[in-house]
Amino acid sequence: MKRVFLIVLDSVGAGALPDAAQYGDVGASTLEHVLDAEHPSLPHLASMGFGHIPNVPCDRPAGARGAVGRAIERSAGKDTTTGHWEMSGVTLAKAFPTYPDGFPAEVIAAFEAAIGRKTLGNYASSGTVILDELGEEHLKTGYPIVYTSADSVFQIATNEAIVPIETLYEWCRIARGMLVGDHAVGRVIARPFLGDHRGGFTRTPRRKDFSLEPTGRTILDALSDAGYFTMGVGKIEDIFCMRGIRESIHAAGNPACMDVWLDTMKRDFDGLVFVNLVDFDMVYGHRRDVKGYADALAAFDVGLGDAMKLARPGDLILIDADHGCDPSFHGTDHTREYIPIVAWTPEMTRLTELGTRKTYADIAATIAEWFGLDERFGAESFAAQLKQ
């Protein structure tokens, strides 16, 4: 029996990429700045060799067992969809469109006509900030709040007491159907919230992402076609539009997603469990909460220790990220960074350094080789190095 658990620490970057200047991200280094500032306890990551990754100031205990490295994003961009697609084998030749000045008037007019009401906003903003700015007006008018960010997203925020959640989801489906061609944003995101006054608005867990379908073949497709079990946990189903995913549990938040991950380790199957831990990004990175970010890393490390105890011969735990979101950096957007790679099996007896990989897609190539598949997604597998 072979099982792979691919755990994405959403936004846990490992230092600015060589092209970071093109994105205004010179100096960003998520792990470095969080670990230097707060020194969270990460004994299980350290035991796998985490501190041997460049720009990761973590303990280096003697006798570490694991394989560690970092990877460059070959695709243009620094968003969730781009990062997840590339680690799954799809590299984008062209970045998704972004709208720092808001969406064109004709796009908003067409959306308003389709849903039968006006909208508020249409500018780039932090989600919590725009609720304070426009939440009370939304309560008075019922008009949805439309906004974007540095990422390729069309976000729609509505109060659950004013707009039923299924109506919000339907409006997102309408927007997704309209945003094609030159305006094919990576994601349309439903952002439901509650509260009745400025300073008292809070987003609810019923966020939902409506992504484009992957433009190429992914490791999920390859495994599913070969008869292997595939499972998405958290927002994985949204990022891949359920393609190649046999089972999904859309748990919300790191604790719930880690609980699902640990539960799957008690099950019998051959295949891949693909987990996204979104809180690093959504709750702490974008809100520039360094201490919260560090505490979340420490909590993950505790769960990782539980997973190591549950691991069986033939299991592979792969830990990576999809981009950076340095909570000590300026602004509130993602940061263009290397991603860390940590690989561990119960059979490992020593530390192996994987170096700097040329693309996130090496992860897909490695998983394919682990299961004996021929596909490599234009990348280079490091599966052989995991068995040394």
For residue 1, what pLDDT is reported? 85
User: What's the pLDDT score for residue 103?
Assistant: 97
* The amino acid at 306: D
pLDDT of residue 34: 98
Instruction: Quote helix, strand, coil % in the chain, to nearest 5.
Output: 35, 20, 45
Q: Does this model's pTM top 0.85?
A: yes
pLDDT at 243: 96
Residues of the chain with confidence (pLDDT) below 50:
none
Angle of CA points 84, 92, 8, to nearest 5°: 10
Give me the pLDDT at residue 126, please: 84
* φ and ψ at residue 101, rounded to 5 degrees: -105, 15
Q: Which domains does the chain have, with CATH numbers?
A: 3-92+215-387 (3.40.720.10), 105-211 (3.30.70.1250)
Contacts of 240 (CB under 8 A, 6+ apart): 84, 88, 211, 213, 214, 218, 220, 232
Q: Which pLDDT does position 272 carry in this prediction?
A: 98
Q: Check if the beta carbon of residue 134 is closer than 8 Å to that of residue 191.
A: no
pLDDT at residue 292, rounded to an integer: 98
**CA nearest 387: which of 352, 357, 363, 360?**
352
Cα-based torsion angle of the residue sequence 95, 99, 103, 104 in order, rounded to the nearest 10 degrees: -80
Q: What is the pLDDT of residue 333?
A: 87
The pLDDT, as a whole number, for residue 331 is 82
CB 320 within 8 A of CB 41: no
Q: Is 208 left (phi over 0), alpha (psi -120 to 50) or beta?
A: beta
**Which pLDDT score is estimated for 221?**
98
